[in-house]
Amino acid sequence: MSHNTKRDREFACMAIVQAQLCAPDSKKKVCPKVGAVATTKDGKLLGSAYRGQIKKGEHAEYTLLERILKNQKHDLAGGTLYITLEPCTSRNCPKIPCAERIVKARIARVVYGMIDPNPKICGKGIRYLEEHGIIADRFPRNLIDQLEAMNAPFLQSVTQDKRASLSSEKAAPRPVSNERDSNKYYRDSNKYYKDKDTNEKKRLNIQSQLVKDFEQPVYDSIIYGKSNLNVLDIGCNNGRHIMARLGDKQEVQKIIGLEYDQKTVNLANKEFGAGKGKFYQCDLENDNLANFIESVMKKNKIQSFDIINLSMILLHLKNPYTIMRTLRKFLSFDGLLYIKDIDDGLNYAYPDSTKDFERIYQICENNETSGCRKSGRQIYSCLRKCGFKNIKLERSGLNSIGMNRDQKQALFDTYFSFIMEDLKIMRRRHPSDEKIKEDYKWYSAIYNSKNLEERFHEDGFIFSLGFMIFTASE
Ligand SMILES: C[S@@+](CC[C@H](N)C(=O)[O-])C[C@H]1O[C@@H](n2cnc3c(N)ncnc32)[C@H](O)[C@@H]1O
């Protein structure tokens, strides 16, 4: 990957200039202004284009790759494409989506500006590229702001379309709030687990062990005195988390898990499929989530769920409201929704006279690689808006008091051992961001010197992480 950040910025600006040249496709529909620039793998400019440059409605990527650079495909291989909007992932046949076209052109890296607000694409274009081994980096924030301002009418029209389609949705069986409520909880955050991501695997393992003591009493009180319980686990990963908590409980009859990553689902079925567990691949953010759950229930002869488990998943979702609203329909009348999530606003460390821990919290606050870090505080209001009742905040803050050395070490590792990797990703995403560079340098030094770790284990030191556990009934 080229880290010539000055050149990156220049090409990104060039793509914006191209976008400015776009003329409206029609009087009826507001279309985005999109520009594209391609370079060779050595950073030599190959060409540029904008939407509708040659023919009305033609996407900038298509114009550039298929019309302008048609005979230069060999130069494109391994090169970089700068696009002001994420590429599309679906087109009417026989047209090929731009994301697919980019993969076919063997481009190695895409630097993009805006995420497509259209819910049918929104993030999928970038995900498609990454799944096909293409490095996806983002324009610097100030250039994205510029693009969003230029495309304000388009952004507005998509929001209006979303509202219109929501109001024409067939009536839900239970009262729900409107899309304005939904938008309130919207955040630019989602992350899928990949089995090959060893770092994330390690993080989840450590975290899972550590929080078991913290949350098991809540699970135990939920199932106490009950029988034949059916559990739905949302974002179940490899199933180990839920199976370790409820898998061996006689009160529990069946555990159904939904997870994005197919390979992880296969692993879960291999390990637990012969017993109570059944795991399915599913994107929770798909419009047809309710239909999917219904079909799984039918297959497993389940009428409704007694426990719906959302453990460390809401922070990864773009819109927790939509998911919670859908899930409420599937909760039995005396069932419980269980939510464990995080809010970094509840983190603290003391003593911290050098303010190093405070600085680390601030670094993590800006870390966009591990979900919405202030998700926890949204949950109560979101549950209320969705119509849930008997909402309880069962636990708030997991701290080091009373922990033995190994547990403290696990708490330390849960939080501190992954920051460097996260900062590396942030550096790749924002190569020209001086603050991230500086944070990375500072953090590497302080983490590697073991100074933090020693202070963490000192007698009288307290460290608290913002885990929150909620329960609610329908
Ligand atoms: C942080 S992990 C939590 C795993 C487990 N629930 C636990 O508490 O250890 C979040 C999981 O949700 C999955 N996930 C994230 N977004 C998803 C989506 N839109 N649809 C389905 N699964 C998703 C991720 O792939 C990952 O396995």
- Give the pLDDT of residue 164: 62
376 Cβ closer than 6 Å to some ligand 1 atom: no
* 3-state DSSP assignment of residue 32: coil
- Give the pLDDT of residue 93: 72
Enter the tokens of residue 411: 């708490």
How much distance in Å is there from the Cα of 237 to the middle of ligand 1?
6
Give the separation between CA 199 and CA 336, rounded to whole angstroms: 32
Environment class of 173 (CB within 10 Å of its CB; exposed 0-12, middle 13-18, buried 19+): exposed
Give the separation between CA 204 and CA 355, rounded to whole angstroms: 28
Q: Which of 190, 192, 209, 282 to mutate to test the pocket of ligand 1 (most atoms within 8 A of CB)?
A: 192
Active site residue 61: yes
Enter the tokens of residue 119: 């819910």
447 Cβ closer than 6 Å to some ligand 1 atom: no
Q: Cβ of 457: how many Cβ atoms within 10 Å?
A: 13
412 Cβ closer than 6 Å to some ligand 1 atom: no
239 Cβ closer than 6 Å to some ligand 1 atom: no
- Give the pLDDT of residue 163: 59
Look up residue 274 and give its DSSP letter.
T
What are the distances in angstroms from CA 199 to CA 202, 381, 417, 443?
5, 33, 10, 18
Radius of gyration of the chain (CA): 24
Find, among 29, 103, 12, 27, the residue nearest to 65 by Cα.
103
Task: List the beta bridge partners of residue 310.
Answer: 234, 339
- Give the pLDDT of residue 399: 95
347 Cβ closer than 6 Å to some ligand 1 atom: no
What are the distances in angstroms from CA 390 to CA 14, 54, 364, 471?
55, 60, 33, 8
- DSSP H helix total and E strand total for the chain: 19, 13
Enter the tokens of residue 285: 């953010």
* Phi, psi dihedral angles at 215 (to 5 degrees): -110, -20
- Give the pLDDT of residue 182: 53
- Pairing assessment for the beta strands 135-138 and 229-234 based on DSSP bridges: unpaired
How much distance in Å is there from the Cα of 303 to the middle of ligand 1?
24
Find, among 56, 57, 119, the residue nearest to 318 by Cα.
119
- Give the pLDDT of residue 158: 81
Give the separation between CA 95 and CA 72, rounded to whole angstroms: 21
Q: Provide CB contacts within 8 A for 78, sequence distance 6+.
A: 40, 41, 106, 107, 108
Shortest-distance atom of ligand 1 to CA 315: 1
- Give the pLDDT of residue 190: 54
- Give the pLDDT of residue 200: 67
53 Cβ closer than 6 Å to some ligand 1 atom: no
How much distance in Å is there from the Cα of 161 to the middle of ligand 1?
29
pLDDT one digit per residue (tens) for the chain, 474 residues = 334 478 999 999 999 999 999 988 777 789 999 999 999 999 999 999 999 999 999 999 999 999 999 888 778 999 999 999 999 998 777 789 999 999 999 999 999 999 888 877 877 888 889 878 888 888 887 888 899 899 999 888 887 765 565 444 433 333 334 444 555 555 555 556 666 677 667 766 777 777 888 899 999 999 999 999 999 999 999 999 999 999 999 999 999 999 999 999 999 999 999 999 999 999 998 878 999 999 999 999 999 999 999 999 999 998 899 899 999 999 998 899 999 999 999 999 999 999 999 999 888 887 777 788 889 999 999 999 999 999 999 999 999 999 988 889 889 988 898 888 889 988 988 888 999 999 999 999 999 999 999 999 999 999 999 999 999 998
Give the separation between CA 432 and CA 382, rounded to whole angstroms: 36
284 Cβ closer than 6 Å to some ligand 1 atom: yes
* Phi, psi dihedral angles at 38 (to 5 degrees): -120, 145
Give the separation between CA 418 and CA 397, rounded to whole angstroms: 20
Q: Provide CB contacts within 8 A for 448, sequence distance 6+.
A: none
Q: Which of 218, 260, 263, 339 to mutate to test the pocket of ligand 1 (most atoms within 8 A of CB)?
A: 260
Find, among 57, 105, 55, 62, the residue nearest to 80 by Cα.
105
Q: Provide CB contacts within 8 A for 190, sequence distance 6+.
A: 123, 285, 316, 317, 318, 371
Among the listed residues 10, 58, 61, 148, the single catalytic one is 61
What does pTM read for this prediction? 0.63
